[in-house]
Amino acid sequence: MNRPIAAACCAAGCLAAVLAGTLGAAAGPAAAHQPTPEPPADTVVRVTGDAAGGFSILHADGTELHPPTDSEALAECAEYDTVRQRVACRTEVRTWYRDLAVLQQALEWAGR
C-alpha cells in the first residue's frame, strides 16, 4: 500500500475511533436515564419460607405459587408403583427444594 494512502487510512481510522468514543460517551448519560423495562410476568421476584414449612414464590405480575412442603411432596412420592419411580420422585423433590433455597438466597443478595 502507498504510504500517503496508508497514513490517510490510519488517520481516518483514528478519527472514527475518537468520534465513536465521544459519541458513545455522550450517549452514556442519556442511556442511563432510560426507563428500566418491566420484567416478563413470570419472572420470580421473591421467594419466602423454607422446605419444611413451605415456600411462597412471588412473580412480577403478582401471582404466587405455594408448592407443598417437602414432607407432603415426599409423601406423594410414596404413592408411585415402582421403587425406581419413587426414587426419581424423591430426587426431584430434593432438587426442587434445594434450588428454591438457592434462588431465595440469590434474590436476597441481589436486593442488597
pTM higher than the cut 0.95: no
**Confidence at 72, pLDDT banded by 50, 70, 90:** very high
> What distance in Å separates the CA atoms of residue 50 and residue 100, rounded to the nearest whole number?
8
Kindly tell me if the per-residue pLDDT of 76 is higher than 60.
yes
Q: Which of 39, 41, 46 is nearest to 66 (CA)?
A: 46
Average pLDDT for the chain: 78
Which residue is it, cell 419466602? 48
Kindly tell me if the per-residue pLDDT of 93 is higher than 90.
yes
The predicted pLDDT at position 74 comes to 92
